Amino acid sequence: MNARILAATTGRILRQLRHDRRTIALLVVVPAVLLTLVYFMYADQPTPPGQPTTFDRIALVMLGIFPFVIMFLVTSIAMLRERTSGTLERLLTTPLGKLDLLFGYGIAFGLAAAVQAAVAAAVAYWIFDLDTAGSIGLVLGIAVLDAVLGVALGLLCSAFARTEFQAVQFLPVVVIPQLLLCGLFVARDQMAGWLQALSDAFPLSYAIEALQEVGAHAEPTGRMWRDVGVVFGAVVLALVLAAATLRRRSG
Amino acid sequence: MDDAIAVRDLVVDRGGRRVLDGISCRVPRGAVTGLLGPSGSGKTTFMRAVVGVQLVSGGTVTVLGQLAGTPALRHRVGYLTQAPSVYADLTVRENARYFAALYGRGRAEADRAISDVGLAEAAGQLVGTLSGGQRSRASLACALVGEPELVILDEPTVGQDPVLRADLWARFHAMAAAGTTLLVSSHVMDEAARCDQLLLIRQGRLIADDSPAAVRAAAGVDDLDEAFLRLIRAGEAAATSTDATAARETA
């Protein structure tokens, strides 16, 4: 890796994003709109005494899921475009290192996700009175880590897609099972054993648990840090595997 | 090492088909060498082998004294792919600056590369809005911006206006005069006369490796197109008589 090349690559990806105003608008506005929907869906639902409201429970988890899902999709398509446009092959003939490219995507889309998460959190906390025991800063930090997880998995999956159609199909394959089993729909400890085992193998489960820890405890817990560590490890693993799929020589 | 490129017994198979069949040749430093041949003759594969992105089945390719594909060569070799590989959602200037940064060059070099290919007036335009010819010149600017010692250009003048084409060839010769080595492919024979040295390949085999004057003298005609045709016919006749001799000997 080379700091100058990494910075240039990150800047280049952000510049591409900047030229695409509509994507920026969608990135910023859509999560806020969806949170609004969720708020009104649960507005009249009774809350059992002593428990967080349904909106609080779901909105907190959604703050982690939006950046994960959206950055997974955006990255898959962006990387596929690098492959099909020939720019990837060209980049690999230049002094650029594979990790410069992968980390460039991670940092650029991580920054975009930070903006997105900040807007979504602002809406959730200040307009809809989201209540978490822990700090908003931790929620944002975990949301950005979730985005980077989405980027890393997107970079990896794009290696297995030849067309845009295939790339989009990786959403149901890679993302939706993680959403179903992350504990949002059924608590993880109430699932059948084999489902729990699957859930334990999915990085998103740890990302969501970390957010729930922040929701329930005023101070960061050991479990939260462990979860953050697991997600971070999954990011590194996915990036290393993605680097291995980038071949400078091909047939 | 007097030669910029030395190729020995290069064999490349792609998709079960032999694309390059035992090519041996040398490309002199500080000159413009033309790689001529019909579409599908193996020009691009040959260039990819020189850049070091092609998996080869046999033979060696030595570039600037090192084996093709050696990491240090990525700083010294510039490659223009046949299809323009630049970012359509960035401006010409943003593309050139990004590739400049990869080679450790700055904005001044980027601006010079843009004006060298005659795109100064379109520098602020998104590449996606350019004409095909302009787009391939934007791609050319990105190949030249690192001021490499060896430049591999895959059909750089296709679709260009005749005046621009003449300008580009003048530019290539100026670069060669300053010590740069250029390997330029074309399927247009009238461009062969503009080269200092010629490599003619057909069906994966090298048919001629000489200066334009020597090729004309060998074939006994002034027109290079006709000269190549005679060389091909002579080669085929020789192959047939060898086969016939071999057949007689076995009989």
Per-residue pLDDT at A138: 94
Count up the domains in chain A and report the number: 1
Q: Three-state SS for A186?
A: coil
Which token pair is B159?
């679709």
Predicted TM-score of the model (pTM): 0.89
Question: Which candidate, A230, A227, A232, places its Cα nearest to that of A217?
Answer: A227
**Sign of the alpha-carbon dihedral angle for B74, B79, B85, B87:** positive
Per-residue pLDDT at A248: 87
Which token pair is B10?
């290069």
Nearest to B85 among A4, A5, A85 (CB): A85
Q: Facing residues of B21 across strands?
A: B11
Interface predicted TM-score (ipTM) over 0.90: no
Which token pair is B113?
């590369």
Element (DSSP H or E) covering residue A22: helix A21-41
Per-residue pLDDT at B238: 77
Q: Which residue of B has its CA nearest to A21?
A: B89
Element (DSSP H or E) covering residue B24: strand B17-28
Per-residue pLDDT at A176: 93
Position A250 in a domain: no
Residues in chain B closer than 8 A to A15 (CB atoms):
90, 94
Query: According to DSSP H, which parts of chain B are helical?
Result: 43-51, 92-102, 107-116, 132-144, 162-177, 212-219, 224-250
User: What is the distance in angstroms between the Cα of B217 and the nearest Cα belonging to chain A?
Assistant: 38
Residues in chain A closer than 8 A to B104 (CB atoms):
4, 95
Per-residue pLDDT at A64: 92
User: What is the distance in angstroms between the Cα of B91 and the nearest Cα belonging to chain A?
Assistant: 9
Domain boundaries, chain B: 3-76+148-250
Residues in chain B closer than 8 A to A24 (CB atoms):
none
Per-residue pLDDT at A250: 84
Dist CA B35 CA A200 (whole Å): 57
B217 touches chain A (CB under 8 A): no
Answer for the pair A111, A138: CB distance below 8 angstroms, yes or no.
no
> pLDDT tens per residue, chain B (251 residues)?
579 999 999 999 998 899 999 999 999 999 999 999 888 899 999 999 999 999 999 999 999 999 998 999 999 999 999 999 999 999 999 999 999 999 999 999 999 999 999 999 999 999 999 998 899 999 999 999 999 999 999 999 887 888 888 999 999 999 999 999 999 998 887 888 899 999 999 999 998 899 989 988 888 888 888 888 888 888 778 777 766 666 666 65
Which residues have CB under 8 Å from A39's CB, separation 6+? A55, A59, A128
Point out the residues of chain A with pLDDT beneath 70. Answer: none
Per-residue pLDDT at A232: 96
Question: Which candidate, B156, B178, B244, B200, places its Cα nearest to that of B46?
Answer: B200
Per-residue pLDDT at B246: 64
Per-residue pLDDT at A251: 78
Query: Scanning the structure block, which residue is given the tokens 């048919």?
Result: B207
Dist CA A56 CA A121 (whole Å): 12
Answer for the pair B125, B91: CB distance below 8 angstroms, yes or no.
yes
- CATH code of B3-76+148-250, in short, is 3.40.50.300
Residues in chain B closer than 8 A to A90 (CB atoms):
79, 81, 85, 142
Q: Do A89 and B88 touch (CB under 8 A)?
A: no
CA angle A107, A113, A115 (to 5 degrees): 110
The pairing of beta strand B205-210 with beta strand B197-202: antiparallel
Q: Do B55 and A248 touch (CB under 8 A)?
A: no
Per-residue pLDDT at B249: 64
Dist CA A63 CA B196 (whole Å): 64
Position A240 in a domain: yes
Per-residue pLDDT at B243: 65
Domain range for A122: 3-245
For B116, list phi and psi in degrees, rounded to 5.
Answer: -60, -30
Dist CA A135 CA A114 (whole Å): 16
